[in-house]
Structure 1
């Protein structure tokens, strides 16, 4: 998964799975109700009908701190949007949340044995890194060894899917990769996404720090042209070494802008597209821009409030977290944030499935809004009112809500939460911190009591989310609030090993119930995938569960 911190861009990607594909259909009318459960709205245009050339200006929240997506600091969604233009995504999810091979990289990927589980990949013989070296089985082997958790020198975002691989070997040729699992792993298609060269994965120093100032290699339709730290821009250009259909665009320019500045930048033509996301003000401003189409779809992304349950946190007691959650009205948060965009939106009820995915069940009743019950539970826990704020053993029940600056969605959410929790005697101190290091210096290291951002999911809901809900003593993964237990850990192993999708869904829902019972995080709503674009923008917009095909993004006139 990827994390999304605020209005339009700041997102974290849940790791362990990849992204999505490029199929199409759907409605472009965000005022007409909820987005479609399946499909997307990207103005699909045949490759031959897309104009050759042009520059595409795409807003990001800040310059990436790390271009290695598998390193802990590299999982922001902005990073992923840049990385996907020049790194191999050997599988791409489609609009129905299913992975499909990318023929530019793979001729096939098949289960060639069920016991033990063996996957055989046959690489496109033309696939090569920009360095000139062919992509081969050794890249897979190096990535497995770096991400399987066996070497603590690698600061990885997730080990899921790699920790159950027994071996990676050459098949009949160096372009045939034989991956043997030590136990069953259902979401194997989400492994090796994106694929990095062995030169990166074989050295922990290069893995952790070599890609901080820019990519060291690539193998995609684009390549890096420039990182301008002064203008805060990352520019990628058409890659002359790309063996597939050439990209239609000459270049993509990723422009770092505060979310509050992005609507006007789009209105004056500085940006080619504008992500609306859950921002009502951005939605309303986009509607005023002439010759603009609003595209929308339902995707795997959701807003939530992460709670810090680390032993040193004031919220270490799960009973306290659950009592506080009962004082927050998720319906008000949802309607205030996205009601004008999705009028019938309702709070999300599942941490692993979103609406539109088979298996979705709502288990949020354990934190149903009930301020009177919240008060009585806080009393029973010894947190009694002393004036306007509860206290226990001389400590006030005052919690830090850490949010990034310049993000109206987070600011609005924090103020609503502050007001609602004040009504049950909980003081919320809103702490705005710099957007550029919100994740690195606060979220990743647990420097918060509660915090708001979005998770960007994948077609592999269990493997991509495992690192968020697994709790291990020696690795944080993406469980930044340090909340979990052995039961969840065991169920995650079972779900990842279950090949029957019906039984797997049952286990996933068991996990979700336990996650709710622990007060891990308070879900808000499934995040609208909404974009403002000009009518001539092709193969780009609300991608839903899919990935973009970067070769096809462009203009029709």
Structure 2
């Protein structure tokens, strides 16, 4: 299970590059893979004009599992394997560029304008009249209205991953034509460009049953450059082909073939030429395996993605006391973890110290001092909390041992390494970390999504709109889980994030978001580990594809050089 970028929210995901991978063949010292392509502070996708690309060709894409929920806005639909498929099918009203700026996508909109900010915020969309769903129905205000109503949180029958932004809309109206959309907000929402992305049709957003269950087996429609050709659950292969009703530039590829592979065989498949790229991510093992593959390059970019440890603070959980969570976090040496995990890929690897902004964004502030590594202080605070230690044993309080269940997915090298390191560090102060490895295919559905853990680790894949996209993670709503899986938060965090979301001034919004980050640290919500490398091993003949960084995929431009 990979991570993925999306301007509406973040995505909980494992990354293919974080897996335990078997040794691969190939070798030789003088091939392009030994000279790393690009820099970590630049988008690196081998950009080529489409005129220089061949017509046809397959892009063979490894996934750790075929999706069981192709509705991205459903709680179970936010894994990257799903999103990588739906992004080729569903409309993106705004596309992020390499700088993370959201630009109107001319395939779907002729114009997007913020026409009023006072007394109410009003945004008007003029849709591309050529844009149609696969059944021939034009995109219209009806699609925007149905998505707003499904995602605004007023109907609990819709099992949504996030209501951020949609809950601030008052109404969606028809303009002069069905392709003129007027969105009026009851509360100002600064990251309004992140909304309706991806856009789903009114026909599947109007009924909660269809919203929740209709997209489980396969995608129901398309309004993108590709369409579903076939899905074979037995062979674990899903194939997309160009959409014959697509009105934009004709795709260069003839097929995109998504193939489910065991996570520990992906590098071997790449080396054997069975897949055309591999997400190396934070895995040094994979990095070292990909470097000698003939005809391969490694493309790198700075990206808004990061590894973290989420704590479970739900009522009754062993970690429901924020003071206990903070004491434990101080005993984990994040610098050591970062350097050991990704030092071979990013030599100056260091901990990430902001829950909202990553390094490389102008609004990033280092605010992680509260949990700076201090083993002695951690032990002292545990003593003060009544968790006493006798000799070298596990701490106890009222006869109960301080045993924390760390749930990680199987065959994920990065999670296993992080867990083992944390286990050793916590053992030094008398805290027992019980590592429970569960099947990867059940990790999110049965454990993370249900809060069935004391602590767990995975990647959050960032967005160009971090202030609003983090709401589903760090806001605490007693009536909905969203992506705050550990149920940790408070009204101060909620208000600061809400105020940041409603601030149209970029500088003021960042100031509020950084104040929210300070409070998130105080709550012991999660321990940030390090910014995840965007390192991609790819065939050297593949163009307009690789380490996208902050940018989105332009599927119709992906292809092979002549």
TM-score bucket of the superposed structures, by smaller chain = over 0.9
Distance 1:396 1:185 in 2: 46
CA-to-partner distance for each residue in 1:386-426, whole Å, 9 max, x for gaps? 45100111111001110110111111111111111101111
Gap runs ≥5 in structure 1: 11-26
* Match in the other structure for 1:182: 186
- 1:235 alignment partner in structure 2: 239
Q: Which residue number in structure 2 is paired with residue 359 of structure 1? A: 363
Normalised TM-score (structure 2): 0.94
Note if contact 2:467-2:510 (Cα within 8 Å) is conserved in structure 1: no
Q: Do structure 1's residue 383 and structure 2's residue 387 form an aligned pair?
A: yes
Distance in 2 separating the partners of 1:58 and 1:375:
47
Q: 1:520 to 1:292 in 2, by over 3 A?
A: same
Q: Tell me whether 1:142 sits opposite 2:140 in the alignment.
A: no
Q: 1:156 to 1:266 in 2, by over 3 A?
A: same
The residue matched to 1:384 in structure 2 has which SS? Answer: coil
- Provide the secondary structure at the position in 1 that maps to 2:258: strand
Q: Equivalent residue for 2:56?
A: 53
Note closer, same or farther for the CA distance 1:381–1:203 as it changes in structure 2 (3 Å cut).
Answer: same
Tell me the equivalent position of 2:315: 311
* TM-superposed deviation, 1:30: 8.0
- Contact 1:347/1:523 (<8 A) preserved: yes
Other-structure match for 1:537 = 542
Aligned length in residues? 539
The SS at the match of 2:369 is helix
- 1:207-259 alpha-carbon deviations (Å, 9 max, x no partner): 00110001111100101111211221211111111111111101111111233
The answer to whether the 8 Å contact 1:169/1:178 transfers is yes
Deviation at 1:8, TM superposition (A): 2.3
- Say whether the 8 Å CA contact 2:92–2:105 is kept in structure 1: yes
Alignment-derived partner of residue 341 in structure 1: 345
Please provide the CA RMSD for this pair.
Answer: 1.5
**Deviation string, structure 1 residues 478-499 (Cα, Å, up to 9, x no partner):** 1000000000011111000111
Once the two structures are superposed, the pairs formed by residues 128-139 of structure 1 within 5 Å of their partners are 128-139=132-143
Among 503, 509, 512, which residue is 1:504 paired with? 509
Residue of structure 2 equivalent to 1:110 = 113
The match for 2:98 among 95, 100, 104 is 95
Match of 1:454 in 2: 459
Q: Distance in 1 between matches of 2:558 and 2:442?
A: 30
Of residues 191-200 and 248-257 in structure 1, the stretch that sits farther from structure 2 once superposed is: 248-257
Residues 404 and 434 of structure 2 are in contact (CA less than 8 Å); yes or no, is this contact kept in structure 1? yes
- 4+ runs of 1 displaced by more than 3 Å? 27-34
Contact 2:15 2:281 in 1 (8 A): no
TM-score by length of 1: 0.95
Whether the aligned pair in 2 keeps the contact of 1:30 and 1:341 (CA below 8 Å) is: no
Q: 2:268 & 2:376 partners in 1: Cα distance?
A: 44
Of 59, 70, 74 in structure 2, the residue corresponding to residue 71 of structure 1 is 74
The structural deviation recorded for 1:9 is: 6.9
Query: What residue number does 1:410 align with?
Result: 415
Aligned with 2:361: secondary structure? coil
Q: 1:6 to 1:133 in 2, by over 3 A?
A: closer
Report how far residue 33 of structure 1 moved: 10
2:29 corresponds in structure 1 to: none
Q: Look up the match of 1:551.
A: 556
After TM superposition, the structure 1 = structure 2 runs for residues 194-209 of structure 1, keeping only pairs within 5 Å, are 194-209=198-213
2:12 corresponds, among 3, 12, 15, to 3
Separation (CA, whole Å) in 1 of partners of 2:111 and 2:39: 37
Query: Would you say 1:481 and 2:486 are equivalent positions?
Result: yes
2:7 paired residue number = none
Give, in whole Å, the separation in 2 of the partners of 1:91 and 1:84: 12
1:260 partner SS: helix
